[in-house]
């Protein structure tokens, strides 16, 4: 899947807002606000459940990495997520 198509599919899910669980959350991390070298995807199956997290890293911007974006779409689809949330911007790597 091309990167623009994957990003649009994710954005469409995010725009829907909260529709219950399971919930998937995406957060991008980087050393600077301009480049996200990591993305953490969190899966929460039900309210008050501990999130399951998976991290993907890239040597370039993860938001423009076709493999990572396509993988995120597949995870969202396979989890049958009712809600997809995305933290705005790029969080600073600790």
pLDDT tens digits, residue range 62-91? 999 999 999 999 999 999 999 999 999 999
- Global pTM reads 0.92
What confidence tens digit (pLDDT) does each residue in 15-74 have?
A: 999 999 999 999 999 999 999 999 999 999 999 999 999 999 999 999 999 999 999 999
Domains of the chain: 3-89 (3.30.720)
CA distance 54 to 39: 8
Tokens of 5: 């198509």
CA dist 72 and 78 (Å) reads 10
């Amino acid at each position: 899947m091309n990167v623009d198509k994957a990003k649009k599919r994710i954005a469409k899910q995010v725009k829907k807002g909260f529709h219950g669980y399971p919930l998937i959350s995406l957060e991008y991390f980087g050393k600077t606000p301009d480049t996200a070298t990591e993305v953490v995807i969190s899966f929460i199956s039900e309210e008050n459940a501990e999130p399951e997290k998976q991290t993907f890293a890239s040597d370039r911007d993860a938001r423009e990495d076709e493999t990572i974006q396509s993988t995120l779409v597949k995870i969202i689809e396979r989890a049958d997520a009712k809600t997809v949330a995305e933290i705005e911007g790029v969080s600073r790597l600790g």
